[in-house]
Amino acid sequence: MKPLRIAVLGAGLVGRKHIKTILSLPQVAQLAAVADPVADPSTLDLGGADWFADAQAMLDRIRPEAVIIATPNALHAGHGALCCARNIHFLVEKPVTATLDEAADLVRSVQASGVKTLVGHHRRYLPVVQRARQLIAQGALGDLVGASVVWATRKPDDYFNVQWRTEAGGGPLLINAIHEIDLLRHLCGEVRAVSGIKSSARRALAVEDTAAALFEFEGGALGTLMCSDAGFSPWTIEQGSGENPMFAYTGQSAWRLVGTKGSLELPVLRLWSAPGEIGWDRPIAGRDIAVPYQDPFQAQLAHFQRLIRQDEPAMVSVADGARTLAATLAVAAAGDQGKRCPPRAF
């Protein structure tokens, strides 16, 4: 399969991760160019790719066949529109856009242009997540009853020296829990409604440091999520799986999925079940299911190539990313308004 001729917009924290991933998979993609008005290209290995300060000038000069958009959230909608107007396929980092109106416009532009799109919810490519989805579909848990999820780690105090991280949208809900909410949709089904509470009691900033949410899924299951960037705990998928070297590895599960016949822990893939009859007086045993690790960013890029070259269905299309954003913003709205909120439909 021919490698993708790809460009990256934004060479910050996650843009650099994408650049490294592209350079590590030459049979999947070749880095044609990078555009960033601020970053210093001398601090980066670009593998010989061209460097531009202006995204639009780069797209017009280089005409890449695909782009990875790794710019700040507020620029995703505009950068996605630039790609649609030029018939360039794109992978946009999460959240798909900063607002739901922008997401609706982008979904329309993508449909009108016919470009292929992917949203960077990379956790869906973790082998433990893919195996969990299979186990649920095969009925290993029976009917899904609910999910209990924790994402809690203490971010360093100087993380909040950057102004936008102290304001609405810069808290753990939109930065971190959006990944958990995307996985909840992936594993438990569409969200019918959410309730939520937010607190800024521990950091005393304008943005939440902790949030708790209740989810009602269309299939009848319920879910809870507690997320915090002020609490020190071993329970995040990053710590439990080792997927992100910035997080110290703990090997602990942060997720519990409960069904009528059994239960599952993640990211330690531990299936709890009984060989015969089930009931509260019956022994229940946990069995760890081994799956070989693969880097989710590499798996995501390989999928992006197959999506474009072989028409593989998108793991997370722009419309799907919009549904995750809608569910996440519904938690924030429920917290602000003190009432149960259905997410906006996409």
Ligand X SMILES: NC(=O)c1ccc[n+]([C@@H]2O[C@H](COP(=O)([O-])OP(=O)(O)OC[C@H]3O[C@@H](n4cnc5c(N)ncnc54)[C@H](O)[C@@H]3O)[C@@H](O)[C@H]2O)c1
Residue numbers at the binding site for ligand X (CB under 6 A): 9-15, 35-39, 55, 70-73, 75, 93-94, 120, 122
Helices 100-113 & 76-85, crossing angle to 10 degrees? 10
Q: 331, 181 in Cβ contact below 8 A?
A: yes
Give how far Cα 206 sits from Cα of 58, 158, 252, Å. 37, 16, 31
Task: Return the DSSP state at 207.
Answer: S
Sign of the C-alpha dihedral, residues 110, 111, 115, 117? positive
Nearer to ligand X, 37 or 286 (CB): 37
| DSSP-based three-state secondary structure for 284 | coil
Q: Minimum distance from CB of 171 to ligand X (Å)?
A: 12
Token pair 């015969």 in the structure block, residue: 276
Nearer to ligand X, 11 or 315 (CB): 11
Output the residue with the shortest Cβ distance to ligand X: 12
Q: What's the rounded Cα separation, in Å, for the pair 151 and 233?
A: 9
Nearer to ligand X, 89 or 94 (CB): 94
Nearer to ligand X, 92 or 258 (CB): 92
Nearer to ligand X, 247 or 270 (CB): 247
Q: What's the rounded Cα separation, in Å, for the pair 54 and 116?
A: 23
Q: Minimum distance from CB of 80 to ligand X (Å)?
A: 12
Element (H, E) at 330: helix 318-337
Q: What's the rounded Cα separation, in Å, for the pair 287 and 118?
A: 34
Nearer to ligand X, 79 or 89 (CB): 79
Q: Minimum distance from CB of 325 to ligand X (Å)?
A: 11
Q: Minimum distance from CB of 53 to ligand X (Å)?
A: 8
| Residue 47 C-alpha from the chain's centroid | 27
Q: Minimum distance from CB of 218 to ligand X (Å)?
A: 26
Q: What's the rounded Cα separation, in Å, for the pair 186 and 129?
A: 9
SS3 content of the chain, % helix, strand, coil (to 5): 40, 25, 40
Nearer to ligand X, 105 or 216 (CB): 105
Q: Minimum distance from CB of 253 to ligand X (Å)?
A: 20
Q: Minimum distance from CB of 118 to ligand X (Å)?
A: 12
